[in-house]
Structure formats: structure tokens, C-alpha cells
Chains A and B, each alone.
Chain A
Amino acid sequence: MTLEPKSFQLFPEQASNFAPTVDALYTYMVVVSAFFSLLVAFLIVYFAVKYRKRPGQGIPAPVNDHSIGSMILEITWSVIPLGLSLVMFAWGASIMFHESRPPKDALSIYVTGKRWMWKIQHLEGAREINELHVPVDRDVKLTMTSEDVIHDFFVPAFRTKADVLPGRYTTEWFRPTKVGAYHIFCAEYCGTKHSGMIGTVYVLSAADYDAWLAHGSGEGSLAEQGESLFNQLGCANCHVKDGHGRAPNLYGAFGTKVDLSDGTSVRIDESYIRESVLYPQAKIVAGYDRIMPTFKGLISDEGMLKLIEYIKSLGNENGANAPARNLSMESPDLQKTGTMAVPMSEMKAPAAAKTTSTEKKQ
């Protein structure tokens, strides 16, 4: 399938769950704006004609009446626009709330932006450059980072975008609703080939998607590749399986909250794992010494994603293993498919919640 843009269109295709409501809000805004623009234009043209100075018209009489001020009018034309605007505020806020909360069972895909290309990584190991294949009618969550400057992953047909930052993970989610091919644009200026950093999203039917996945990379899933990195880099020496090592146990740890040595606590998520690998002294789990060395320079951004997926596969807060594969044919209910994780004997009980890691800066 190819991109088939019409030569004259005012709206991109509506290809995601967000598109209809965004378009509806836009229509509301256009109608309100057109009304007020035309009203103002009409008034000034009408007054310019009706009250034009006529020859022989003398000096204006001193005025002190409603034609130089009116409290009622001031209030009216403040309150009504404010009311109409607050509708825009509330509607837009609700759309963005929805956009900022990816469903728990969303299909997870990693995106790495780099001057000037998009590297996409599916958990099962399939990799793409400048193309993103996704199944229709399934929630998809993109976890994104940049290897250099700030980029932005923009799909007009989905009406979503999010900046892609170096040193940090950002997320974007959508549910494609229409099979087809749609533009990906980089929407944060990033240098010479910013306008060349484009690609295509291919939304496939469920069956086509599974077929496509099956052609994936022969290197194994991300989690499997992460396991070999975990061993290669020596993480396994301290982060031992039975929990009696020099370092916290990672089994079942992903998604839980832990106490830190300074009394605060943090949720173990992608950002915390990344921070611990690169800046191990920043947040030390309570009860452990500051002996973890830094792996900055020893692991690439891609390697980091594999490690993260491996740690996720060791079990999450629900006691179930995270799926190594995004199986589109299976029920998204993970509780039924996972096995129980090792009891979390090494982890302390979660303390009061602090800021979540998505707000933490790297």
C-alpha cells in the first residue's frame, strides 16, 4: 500500500481514535472564530459607512453617554468570549488527558530518533527504519528517545505528536482505526535534513500484521537480546536471581515503588532503569551501598531498550511476566497468561508516592 494523498484536501484522513474528536473540536473553533471575525468585520465596515463624516458636519458635541462607555457591554463582551473559550479549554484538556494515559495493555513499540531517521523497534525483534507497521484497532504505545537533538514524532492522520528527547523517554499512544498508509513527519527542527526525516505508518489488518511480524529480525526478541547484554555487561554478578547479592533483586521489580537511601521513593520504570545504568549514584535503593559503576559509554540507546525489555520480562508489579511478544490474536488480559514471579523478599514495601518517573528529568 502506498500513500495516496489527494491533491486538494483540507483535513488529513481520520485514521485514529483521536482524529474524530480533534476534528470536531476544530470545527467548533472554526465556527466560533468565523462568527466573531465576521461580526467584527461587519461592525467596522458598517460603522465606517453609516457614520462617515459628511461634508458640512460640524465639530462633534461633547459626549458623556453610552457611546463612549458602557459597563454592561464591557461585561457582556468579556464574559461571553470567556465562556466560549473555556469550552475550548475543557474539551482540549480532556482530549489531552486521554492522550497522555496510554492503556495498560497497549502494544509497546520503541522509537529512536536520530539525525535524520526514525528507528523503530518491535519487542519481538523486528526493526524498521522510517516505517512503522501497526495493527488496526489495537492500542499502540510508542516509547521514544533521541540519540542526539530534540525531534518530534508526528502523524497528522492520527492527530498526535510528541517531542522525542535525548536522555529521556517520552510516550505517545493511539489506536489506529483505518487500514492505510499515512505520513510520519519530524516536527521539531533538528538541522539540515529536518524535512527529510519523514516516513510512513502502515496500518495493517490483524492478520496482515501478524504475517508481517513473522518476517521479523532473526536476532530474537528485544527481551532475549537484553538478556544476553545483561550477562555480557556483568549485571548478573550483582543483581543475582535469588536476591542475596550486592544489588537489588530485579525479579518482579518493574513497576513497583522502592524506597531510596535519602528517604524519598521512586517507581521503577524505563527512566529509572536508564538513570541507574548511566548515573548509578543518583538514586540508590535504601539498604544498599553506593558501589554500582556507571555504564555510560558502554551501552548504546538501542542496548538500553533491550535491557529494559529484559527487566520487564522478569515480572512486573502484577506478579505476572510482561509478555515477550505482542500477540495480536490473544486477549490483552495479561493476568491469565503470565506465571507468578519470585516473591519480592528483597524489596521494601512501597512508601508514599513521590513524583512519577515520567516527570523526572534525566
Chain B
Amino acid sequence: MASHVVAHKPAEHEPVNTTLRHHFASDEQQKDAATIGMWVFLVTEIMFFGGLFLAYFAYRQAYPAAFASASGKTNLWLGAANTTVLICSSLTMALAVHAASLGKKTLLVIFLVLTLMLGGAFLGVKAYEYHDKWVHHEVPGAHFECEGCDDAGHAPLFFSLYFGMTGLHATHMLIGFVILVILIVKAQKGEFTTKWYTPVEMFGLYWHFVDIVWIFLFPLLYLIDRSHTGLK
């Protein structure tokens, strides 16, 4: 393949670009690469959760009675509260990204901290729910009991999926938690400017994704057949 070459030498009086990695030709290319990379990663996450959703749909279709009555054991109000909390945390995250784009450091830190607190609230409620299930022997295993459940022989499947799916989701939230702390520290140090706030934006994408996964989990795990079994 023939080519002629073009020299790319920076002019001596240009300021050194500290945020541009050496293998990229321009800031724009670097930002594009990060964005495409994050979206590709989110696609892999969809496939990751997808396997569990497939198992859920397969078993729910096979054992509807067990799923409907076992789902009644989840606490609707706690689930709804968590949903609200997580949606609000997506809002604060979006506002954080916006603040970063405007170079407003204080606002950025405030919104990141709010996101962290809301995320922490979600995890706290989840911990309470797990504990509650443990106490009521609703964790699959040797001591499993599903009181008053239809088709109790197949009820463990629902709970396996409940713990598997919300557990995987909670793990993703924990990872997000850790990254948020790092971002807060970096933001406080003033590392993000209007010219470069890519990590904040990319993390925003990740956080919104984790939120959307919950939006799917909530109805599938908490809302099946509530009209039939009644609000509890």
C-alpha cells in the first residue's frame, strides 16, 4: 500500500497538552475513543445481565404460579423506594456531568456526593431486604421455606434468580460506589475542566446503565401478579 508521509510535529510555542495521551492524534479522537469504548462495554453488560434475564423468563414461563406467589414475598414499598432513590441518583449524576461541562467545580462535587449518598441509601435498603429474607428462611439452600407459597417446590427458583440478579446489580453498584469516591477526590482537586471531564461523563453512562437495569428488575421481581395477591 503506497503512501506518502506527512510530518506531525507540534509547533514549539504550543502549550503542552497534559490530558492527551501520546498515541492519540487529537483530543477529539481521544474523547471519541473513550465514548465508543464505554458504549461497547455497556453492550457487554447487557449481555451479562441478559443471561440471567433469559433464565428468569424461561422459568417464569414454566412455573407461573410459583413465581407469582414467591414474588409476593418481596416488599413492594422498599422496592419502590429504592427505585425512586436510584432514579434520583441518575438525576444528580446527570447534573454532575452538566456541572463538569460548565467547569463548575463546587457544583460538580456536590452532585457527585449526592449521587454517592443516594447510591449508599439504595445499598442500605438492599442490605436490609437481604437480611429480612435470610431471617425468614427465604434464601435457597438447605433451610429454605416459602410460607404459603403456591407450588413451593419451584419457589426456590424465583429466589435464586432474585438473589442472583439483585446481587449482580448490587455488585455493579458497589463498583460504581468505589469509582464515585475516586471521582470526588479528583474533582475536589480540580482535575476536571470544561476542556476535559471525560471520566465524569463516562462514569455517568455507567451509572445510568446500572439504573436502567434496576428499572427492569423492579417490575420483574416485585410487581408480578400484585393485583391478584394484593398489595402487601
Contacts and interface: CB of A to CB of B under 8 A. Distances in A.
Given A282-B153, A282-B154, A360 B64 contact: no
A316 B34 CA distance: 67
B65 A294 contact: no
B65 A262 contact: yes
Contacts of A278: 153
Interface string A4-17: 00000000000000
Interface residues of A, number: 10
Which of A262, A278, A281 has the most C-beta atoms of chain B within 10 angstroms of its own C-beta? A281
Chain B facing A: main interface SS: helix
A361 B63 CA distance: 9
B62 interface: yes
Contact of B66 (A282, A290, A296, A361): A282
Contacts of B66: 281-282
Interface string B139-171: 000000000001111100000000000000000
B64 A281 contact: no
A286 to B, nearest CB: 13
A116 interface: no
A209 interface: no
A281 B64 CA distance: 11
A361 B62 contact: yes
A279 B64 contact: no
Nearest to A283: B65
B62 A281 contact: no
Nearest to B151: A281
**What bracket does the count of chain B residues touching chain A fall in?**
10 to 19
A326 to B, nearest CB: 33
Which of B58, B62, B151 has the most C-beta atoms of chain A within 10 angstroms of its own C-beta? B151
B153 A294 contact: yes
A281 B148 CA distance: 12
Nearest to B58: A361
A123 to B, nearest CB: 29
Contacts of B152: 281
Contacts of A361: 58, 62
A289 to B, nearest CB: 12
Interface string B43-54: 000000000000
Contact of A360 (B62, B150, B153): B62
A295 to B, nearest CB: 11
Nearest to B62: A361
Which of A279, A290, A296, A360 has the most C-beta atoms of chain B within 10 angstroms of its own C-beta? A279
A278 B154 CA distance: 11
A281 B154 CA distance: 9
B153 A279 contact: yes
Contacts of B58: 361
Interface string A286-314: 00001000101000000000000000000
Contacts of A262: 64-65
Interface string A244-287: 00000000000000000010000000000000001101100000
Interface of A: 262, 278-279, 281-282, 290, 294, 296, 360-361
24 contacts: A262-B64, A262-B65, A278-B153, A279-B151, A279-B153, A279-B154, A281-B65, A281-B66, A281-B150, A281-B151, A281-B152, A281-B153, A282-B63, A282-B65, A282-B66, A282-B151, A282-B153, A282-B154, A290-B150, A294-B153, A296-B153, A360-B62, A361-B58, A361-B62
